[in-house]
Amino acid sequence: MIVSPRQKRTRGLQYGGLLLYMLFLAFPLLWLLSVSLKGPRELVELHPHLIPQDWTFSNYREALHGDIGIGDVTLLHAAWNSTKVSLLTALLTTVIGLPAAYVLARQQGLISRVGLGWILLSQMFPLILIIIPLFLLLRDLHLTDSHTGLVFVYVVWTLPFILWMLQSYVRGIPRDLEEAAMVDGASRLTVLRTVIVPLLAPGVAVTTLFAFITAWNEFFLALVLLQTPGLTTLPLLLARFVGVEGVVRLGPLAASALLATLPSLLLFTVIQRWLTRGLMSGAVKG
Amino acid sequence: MRKTLGLSTALVLCVALLASTAQAGKAKQNVTNLNFATYVWQPTTVKAMNAIVSSWNKSHPAIQVHIVPVDVNSVHDKLLTSFVGGSASDIVHDEAADIAGFTQQGYLANLTPLIPKKLKSEIPKSIWNVTNFGHKITGVPIMIQTYNVFANMSLLKANGIKAPTVTKPWTWAQFRAAAKKLTKNGNYGVCWGLRSPTATIQTISLNWGGQWNYLQNGKWVLKIGQGERTTLTTMHDMIYSDKSVDPAGVGLSGSAVLPAFFAGKCAMTIQGNYQSQGMIEQAPKGFNWAMFPPLKGQTQDQAANPQTLSISAQSQHKAEAMQFIAYALNAQNMAKLSAGDWLIPASPTAAKIVVKSTKHYGSWKNAVSAVPFFKKANWVTLGPYARWKAEVATPAFRQYLSNQIDLNKLTSQLVDGWNSIRG
Amino acid sequence: MLSVAPLVRGIYLGFTNSRAGFGLKTSFIGIDNFTRLIHDDLFINSFKIGLIWAGSVTFIQFCLALGLALLLSQPLHGRWLARSLALVPWAMPPVVVGIMWKLVFQPQAGVLNELLYRGHLPGSNIDWLSDFTWALPAVIVVGVWAGMPQTTVALLAGVQSISDDLHEAAAVDGATAWQRFRTITLPQLRPVIVAITTLDLIWNFNSFGLVYVLTLGGPGHSTELPMLFAYNEAFKYGEFGYAAALGDAMVVVIACILVFNLWGRLKETTA
C-alpha cells in the first residue's frame, strides 16, 4: 500500500494525540511511584525531581512494619480487615445472586421484568438514601460498628449490579442446550449441574472478583459505619492518614497507597477483558 | 457434585469468617469493662495515657479500662455516630465547645452528683463554669491551650528587641511594633498559619472583652462590638497595612508555617502553646526559640476551651467510670498528660508539678502564667456554636483574612449565619 | 428485594424529623424538610456546585474519551499500552486516586507547581486544593481522570461496532475524515453517547469519596458537592431526616435527567 504524505501526517498527529493521552493517564501514577521511592530528605526539597536522586525502599519497609497507622492499626492489619470483608462480600453476593439471576434470566413474566428495571434504577439512587436507613436498621440490630454489619451493607449494595451481570451471562447460554438435555431425560438439577454451571463458571468468577474489588475499594459506607480503629479497612486508614494536618509523612503514605492498590489492580487486569465484554452486552442492549 | 461442594465450602468459609468477626466483642464475667474513647495523638501523651490506664488496670482488677483510640481529625463525627449507633464508649474525651451540642442532644450523663469532692476542689470554679450547662456539668476539664508568640531569639537579639516577661508581658501594640521592625530583607516579622482561624480569633478576642455571643432578652445573639472588631482589624492590619505578616502563610495550617520559622524566614509565629512539643522535636539543632507569655490587649484574658472527659448517658457503669476519671485526673496524672501535650493543666496543683519537671527556656513558667487569665467565653457553651463555626465562621474569617471581603461584609455574614442557625 | 426496603424507608425518612438525640421519637412532618432545603443557602450553593461539577466532568470526559476511543480504534502501535492505562483508574480505590492527585497538586513539593515553575508559567505558587477559585477546577480535573475508563470503554465498543463498509463507501465517494466522522460515526454512536453521558451525569452528581479525600468540600464550601452536604447534615449534625430529604430531591433531579434523555431518544426514533 502506498502511503501518501497526507496520510503520513495524519498518522503522526494520531501518535502525538495518543502520547498526550498516555501522559495524562500515566503521569499521576508515575509521580506517586516516584514519591514512594524518595527518602525523607528529598521529599521536603523545594524543587523536586521526577526521578528520585536517592532510591530507597525504606518507605515500603516503613509502610509494612506499622508506624503509619492510627492507634495501633498497621497497614497489614487494615489489609487483613479489608480481605476479610471483601472475601465475605464476594462469596455471599455470588451465593445469593446466582440462583436469583438464573430465575431472572429464565423467567419471562412480569416479575422478572420489574426486577430488572428495579436493578437498573437502583444504580441511580444517591447512596445517602440507602445508608441512613441501613445505619438506623443496623443500630437496632447492634451491628453498626462491626464487620458483620459492613458485610451486610456491602452485600445489599453490590447485589443489584452483580445480579445484572450474572443474568446477562445466563442469557448468553442458549436455552436449546438445556432443553436438549432435559429431553434426554436429565432432571432439572442435573441439567443445572452438568450444563449450566460449567458454562457459567467464567462469568461467575468474573462477577465474584468484581464484587471483591468493589468491596476492597469502597470508602463511604465504611466511613459511616466503622468507629473502632481495630476494624478499619484500607481505604479508611489511608484517608485518615491524609487528614492529619502538618504531620503527614508523604513517602510512607505514597508507598501504602500503592500497596493498597496492588490487589485490586492485579485482579482487575485478570478480569477486565471479560468484565468489559459483560458490561457492554448489558449496556448496549439496555 | 462440584457445585454442591463449592457451595458448601463457600458457606463454611462464610460462617467461619462471620464467627471470627463476631467473637471480638465478648467479655469476661464479674469484671466491669469500661471503654474509653480518647483522641490523644502526640506520641508523648499517648505514652502517658497508656501508662495511666495500665497502672489503673493493675490496681483495680474489678474495673478494667480499655482504650478506644479516636482519630484526632474527626472526633466530633465519630462520637456522634457512636452515640447514635448505640456503640459509644463509657468515657469519652472531647473538648468543652464540642460537648455543648452533645449535652443538648442528651448523650452525656450529668456528672454533678458523681464528681468526688477532691476532684471538684482541685480545679478552679472559673474553669468548671465552662463545662457547666445550666446546673449540669457534663465534662471534667483536663487541659487548656492558649495562643502564644514564639520567637527566634537570635533574630530578636540581633535587632535589639528585648523579650517580654511574665510580669512585663507585651501588649499587642508592642508586638506589632516588634513585628514591623523585624520585617526586612524579604523576611517577615510574623508567620501566622490561619487556615482554621476561628478558634484563634475567638480565643484572643477576650483580650479586648470580645465575647461574640451575648444574652439579650433570653436569646443568645451574635454581636461584633468594639472588642471583636479590634481583634479582627489588628490581625488584618498586620497582614495588609503593616505587611509584617507573611501573606503566603495565612492560608496554611499552624504547623505548616514552622519550616519558614525554623529557616529564619520570619522571626516570630503565633501558635497554640502545645507547639512547644513540635519545636522540641523539629527545630534544627542550636535553634534558639522561646515562648512568650500571652499578649495583652486591655487584659491578657483568653477563652478557656479545655479538653474534657465525659461519661456517655448510655453507659451502664457511670459510678465506676467516674472513679476512673478521678484517678486519671489526679494532680500527678494530669501533670503527666499535660507534660506530654504541652497543654496547661486545669488543676493548679498539677501545674506546679509540671513547672518543676522541665526547664526549657522557662516556657512552662510562661505557659502556666496564663492560668489566672482563663475566662469562660459564652460561645463555648452554646449548642449551635459547632455548626456556626464550621459552616459560617471559618469560611467567612478566611475570606476576610485573605482580603476578599471587608469587615462590614464579614459582620453581616457572621450575624446572619448565626441567626439562621440558631433558628 | 433486599435493596427495596431500605430505599423505601430512606425515601420516607425525608418526610420525617429523624435526628440525633438520646431517646428522641421520630415523627412525620410532611414537606417541612423540603421547604427548609429551598431556603438553605448552603444547599442551593452545593446544588449549584454539583451541577457545575457533574456537567463539566461529564462534558470534558466525553470529549476526551471520544478522542481516545477513536485513536484506539486505529491500527496504531502501542495502543495496547494506552488501552491498559485507560483502564487503570477504574481499578484504583477512589481514596488512592485522591491521595495521588493531592501529591500532584501540593503547593510546595508538588509536581504540577514544579512544572509550572520550570516552564516559567504563572501559577507556580498556588495552593490548588485550598484556593477559593482554583479548588473546584482542580477537583474537576481529578474527576475527569478517574472517570475516563468507563466512558472510553463504552465509546470504544460503540466505535468498533460501526461497520467498516460504511466508512469505505464514504471514502470512495471522496468524503474527508471530518465529513465521515460527522455523517457516519456520530449518528451511529448516538445511542451509546446518550447512554453513557446520562450515566456519567448521574454518577458524577452522586459522587462523594474523591472530593471528600481531596478537599472535604473546602475551602469554605467551594467544592461541597450535594453528597458532601448530605453527609455533613447526617453524620456531623445528626439531621437524618433532613439529609434524606436532600437524597429525595436528588432522586427527582436524576429522574428529570433520565426523562429528558428518554424524551430526546424518542424524538430521535420518530423523526
pLDDT digits (tens, 9 = 90+) for B88-145: 899 999 999 899 889 989 999 999 999 999 999 999 998 999 999 888 999 999 999 9
Mean pLDDT, range A238-263, rounded to an integer = 75
C250's grid cell: 436528588
Contact at 8 Å (CB) between B322 and B341? no
Contact partners, residue B243, CB within 8 Å, separation at least 6 = B183
How far does CA C205 lie from the centroid of its chain?
6
Please state which of the ranges B81-95, B334-348, B350-364 shows the lowest mean pLDDT.
Answer: B350-364
**Residues facing C16 on adjacent strands:** C28
Contact partners, residue C6, CB within 8 Å, separation at least 6 = A130, A133, A134, A137, A156
Q: How confident is the model at residue B370 (pLDDT cuts 50, 70, 90)?
A: confident
Comparing C177 with A25, the larger pLDDT belongs to A25
> Residue A262 pLDDT > 80, yes or no?
yes
* Cα(A73)–Cα(C161) distance, integer angstroms: 50
Q: What is the pLDDT of residue B196?
A: 86
Cβ contact B71–A94 (<8 Å): no
- Reduced to 3 states, what is the DSSP secondary structure of residue B78? helix
* Cα(C248)–Cα(C238) distance, integer angstroms: 17
Q: What is the pLDDT of residue B14?
A: 52
Q: How confident is the model at residue B188 (pLDDT cuts 50, 70, 90)?
A: very high
Q: How confident is the model at residue B423 (pLDDT cuts 50, 70, 90)?
A: confident
Mean pLDDT, range B211-234, rounded to an integer = 94
Cβ contact C130–B195 (<8 Å): yes
- Residue in chain A closest to B7 (alpha carbons) equals A95
Q: From chain C, pick out residues whose CB is under 8 angstroms from the CB of A118.
A: 3-4
Nearest to A272 among C87, C227, C251 (CB): C87
> In chain C, positions 28-47, which contact chain A (CB-CB < 8 Å)?
none
In SS3 terms, chain A reads as: CCCCHHHHHHHHHHHHHHHHHHHHHHHHHHHHHHHHCCCHHHHCCCCCCCCCCCCCCHHHHHHHCCCCCCCCCCHHHHHHHHHHHHHHHHHHHHHHHHHHHHHHHHCCCHHHHHHHHHHHHHCCCCHHHHHHHHHHHHHHCCCCCCHHHHHHHHHHHHHHHHHHHHHHHHHHCCHHHHHHHHHCCCCHHHHHHHHHHHHHHHHHHHHHHHHHHHHHHCCHHHHHHCCCHHHCCHHHHHHHHHHCCCCCCHHHHHHHHHHHHHHHHHHHHHHHHHHHHHHHHHHHHC
Mean pLDDT, range B302-312, rounded to an integer = 94
> Residue A282 pLDDT > 50, yes or no?
no
Contact at 8 Å (CB) between B247 and B192? no
Q: What is the pLDDT of residue B24?
A: 45
Cβ contact C11–A213 (<8 Å): no
Q: Taking the CB of residue C266, how many other CB atoms lie within 10 A of it?
A: 10
**Among B91, B114, B72, B98, residue whose Cα is nearest residue B306:** B98
Q: How confident is the model at residue B25 (pLDDT cuts 50, 70, 90)?
A: very low
Length of chain C measured in residues: 271
Cβ contact A10–C145 (<8 Å): no
3-state helix, strand, coil in chain B (%, to 5): 50, 15, 30
Please state which of the ranges A125-134, B240-249, B394-403 shows the lowest mean pLDDT.
Answer: A125-134
For chain A, give the percent of residues with pLDDT over 70: 86
**Among A199, B58, B90, residue whose Cα is nearest residue A191:** A199
Contact partners, residue A127, CB within 8 Å, separation at least 6 = A220, A221, C206, C208, C227
| Helix or strand (DSSP H, E) at B70 | none
Q: What is the pLDDT of residue C215?
A: 87
> Residue A277 pLDDT > 70, yes or no?
no
What is the nearest CA distance from B401 to chain C, expressed in angstroms?
13
Q: From chain A, pick out residues whose CB is under 8 angstroms from the CB of B253.
A: 245-246
Contact at 8 Å (CB) between C15 and C27? no
What is the nearest CA distance from A49 to chain B, expressed in angstroms?
20
**Among A263, A284, A169, residue whose Cα is nearest residue A209:** A263
B175's grid cell: 508586638
* Cα(A277)–Cα(C242) distance, integer angstroms: 41
Nearest to C236 among B80, B252, B313 (CB): B80
- Using a CB–CB cut-off of 8 Å, the residues of B that contact C are 76-77, 80-81, 83-84, 105-107, 195, 248, 251-252, 313-314, 387, 390-391, 394-395, 398-399, 402, 404
* Cα(A256)–Cα(A234) distance, integer angstroms: 9
Residues of chain C with confidence (pLDDT) below 50: 271
Q: What is the pLDDT of residue A245?
A: 47
Q: What does pLDDT average to over chain A?
A: 80
Q: What is the pLDDT of residue B205?
A: 94
Q: What is the pLDDT of residue B309?
A: 96
Mean pLDDT, range A11-38, rounded to an integer = 88
B173's grid cell: 501594640
* Cα(C108)–Cα(C104) distance, integer angstroms: 10
Per-residue DSSP letter, C181? I
- Reduced to 3 states, what is the DSSP secondary structure of residue B32? strand
Nearest to A128 among C145, C157, C243 (CB): C243
Reported ipTM: 0.83
Q: What is the pLDDT of residue A109?
A: 73
Q: Is the pTM of this model over 0.90?
A: no
pLDDT tens digits, C32-75 = 888 888 888 889 999 999 999 999 999 999 999 999 998 888 88
Tell me whether C246 touches chain A (CB under 8 Å).
yes
Q: What is the pLDDT of residue B171?
A: 96
B96-104 and B75-85 helices, crossing angle to 10°: 20
- Residue in chain C closest to A42 (alpha carbons) equals C109
Q: Is C117 exposed, middle or buried (0-12, 13-18, 19+ CB in 10 A)?
A: middle
> Residue A81 pLDDT > 80, yes or no?
yes
Please state which of the ranges A119-123, B147-151, B406-410, C214-218 shows the lowest mean pLDDT.
Answer: A119-123
* Cα(B277)–Cα(B129) distance, integer angstroms: 29
The stretches of C206-239 forming alpha helices (DSSP H) are 209-214, 226-235
